[in-house]
Amino acid sequence: MSCRLLYLVGQLRPGGLERQLYYLLKSMDRGRYQPEVVVWNFREAEAYVEQIRALGVALHSFASGSSRFMKLRAFRRLVKKVKPEVVHSYSFYDNFAAWWATRGLNAIPIGSIRQDFVTERRASGIILGRLSASLPRTQISNSLAAQIAVEESPGPFRPSQVHVVHNGIDCDRTLLHPIPPNVPSLLSIGRLYPEKRWDRLLRVVSLVAARRVGFSVRLAGDGPLLKELQSQARHLGIAGLVQFLGFRHDIPTLLKESSFLIHTADAEGCPNVVMEAMACGRAVIATDAGDIPYLVDNGKTGFVVRRGDDATLVERLMTLITDRNLCRQMGEAGRVKAENDLGLDRLVSKTFSAYQAAGWNG
């Protein structure tokens, strides 16, 4: 029997888009839709390999050492063999491959925009960035902000149709926990990359610390900026306040132990960490990157602060550090919103609606 839905993903590391792919596969009727996954840069030990296999979903990969051109040819042969109805690239830089492999076939190619559109295009390089920005012609974005950026982008290198499907969260596996009674503990989660603006976080933490309030900060994530950020913390005199945890699998436990989440990025799509915090009943202070203003109801489930407005960020931190009751109220409101608006059933239905708009008769 032929595969009906084929997903192409760059890798299966413990990242946001990989988690959303896993959620989609987990939540759909796999007996009916027979999904399979192709991993462009496969590593057996990566986080979601065994989890996807445990769902009974077939994983395909390419021979070690294959060039991009060799992978393109092998991927097209695979598409011809398994005869999918839809080929959905889940990584922006694989969008062109999904289009190329379906040329002249009955499969419908779908691309993805997982972050800020301009950032994604630039990060993929001059040629591949332009190709993956415009092909396939139909793409799914996880944020309204990216859809607007596409509409405002000049020139031909953009998709003709963008469907917004916000990320989902598995609230059934996330418990609501009371805020710990100890000294307020702030949590930040994410890769240590420039667009996450951890330098802004450390700078703001130093300003709050100067006000002589008691609190601590934990930063969960790894990446190339670790040494630079540790050096900045020492220079600002807050090395004793900020703990760098490295990569962690136990994010729900970290959230349970924390008072609220702070997220200071400049570029985002629909960040999983914000939704996870809401599902755990934690208030969120975040910049207005991507669709954070859609996720966080300013003043109700947390605070949304304009990027670059460090003074307001300091004041919002002070508010939640010194008002445990407000933290609790905002966290409870965030949990309600996560349950009502960010569930996995919506992720599946919206994704399939985008396929159908592109011509799928599933």
Domains of the chain: 5-168+343-357 (3.40.50.2000), 171-341 (3.40.50.2000)
Q: What's the Cα-to-Cα distance from 317 to each of 171, 182, 237, rounded to whole Å?
A: 26, 17, 18
pLDDT digits (tens, 9 = 90+) for 243-283: 999 999 899 999 999 999 999 999 899 999 999 999 999 99
pLDDT at 174: 75
Which residues in the chain come in under a pLDDT of 70? 1-2
pLDDT digits (tens, 9 = 90+) for 16-58: 899 999 999 999 999 999 999 999 999 999 989 999 999 999 9
- Compute the residue count for the chain: 362
**Angle formed at CA 174 by CA 58 and CA 300, multiple of 5 degrees:** 125
Helix (H, G, I), strand (E, B) or coil at 142: coil
pTM of the shown model:
0.90
Match 């690239």 to its residue by tokens: 89
pLDDT at 172: 80
pLDDT at 1: 54
CA proximity to 336, closest of 285, 283, 288: 283
pLDDT at 249: 85
